[in-house]
Amino acid sequence: MYEELKRIIKESQRIVFFGGAGVSTESGVPDFRSENGLYQAQQNYGRSPEEMLSRTFFLQHTDTFFDYYKNNLIYPDVKPNKAHLALARLEQQGKLQAVVTQNIDGLHQLAGSQKVYELHGSVLKNRCMQCGRPYDISYIMESGHCKGYVPHCEHCGGIVKPEVVLYEECLDDDCLRGAAGAIAAADTLIVGGTSLVVYPAAGLIQYFQGKHLVLINKSSTPYDDKADVVIHQAIGEVLHACVEE
């Protein structure tokens, strides 16, 4: 399978990568939807991660939201892994046209990728809900301007909200259109680290009309029988082995 993927990459000129949580877990970022993530949320907060990461919960229990958010979604010391670095290399070679990611950690950009569609936003971007003033991640994590766990704008006093897409919120239209357009124009789509069950993001696969569909994921997906290449292994190792220096 590695040789076949190497051949496809060599022949392709418009590759798009679509990735999920499995790309970041190899850097040490836990998947909050995993069995362990679910257990930790129920054990420590008595609620599911999906409830605590909903817009309703954010508005009604803002202090608890930020307590959970800071302790479970922010990992400032993690580094890009072999998958991130291989994709950045493909972009530098002129083969990779875009990365479409469901992750919110900014690791693709840290690895050097330039064209990244962050479907669910980014923990690195934050904005005052009242005046729109932008803030970086360090502002969210510092406690000097926080009332409890909640960060407030130094300009107007409004709550500073992470620019991540919460449950009950819509994905950004411009980001969705850009991602769909990139996938539609691709000659090869490499899907990795995702089970393709989280919608509406997973629905973007339907826009692909190109030549080769490649799936790299430790478990099976609903699209396995439609792919040219299916590899059930760690995505970092696969891409590192298949992308030429």
Q: What are phi and psi of 125, to 5 degrees?
A: -115, 135
Contact 126, 139 (CB under 8 A): yes
**Given 84, 108, 120, 212, which residue is catalytic?**
120
How many angstroms separate the CA atoms of 212 and 227, rounded? 7
**CA dist 1 to 6, 176, 218, 233, Å?**
9, 31, 14, 11
Q: What are the strands of the beta sheet with 134-135, ordered from one edge? A: 134-135, 121-128, 160-164
Q: Which two tokens stand for residue 173?
A: 């239209």
**CA dist 14 to 106, 113, 170, 222, 245, Å?**
23, 15, 28, 24, 18
How many angstroms separate the CA atoms of 155 and 161, rounded? 14
Q: Which residues of 90-112 are buried (b: 16+ CB within 10 A; e: fewer)?
A: bbeeebbbbbbbbbbbbbbbbbe
Is 155 labeled as catalytic in the residue annotation?
no
Per residue, what are the HEC states of 82-115?
HHHHHHHHHHHCCCEEEEEECCCCCHHHHHCCCC
Q: What residues are labeled active site?
A: 120
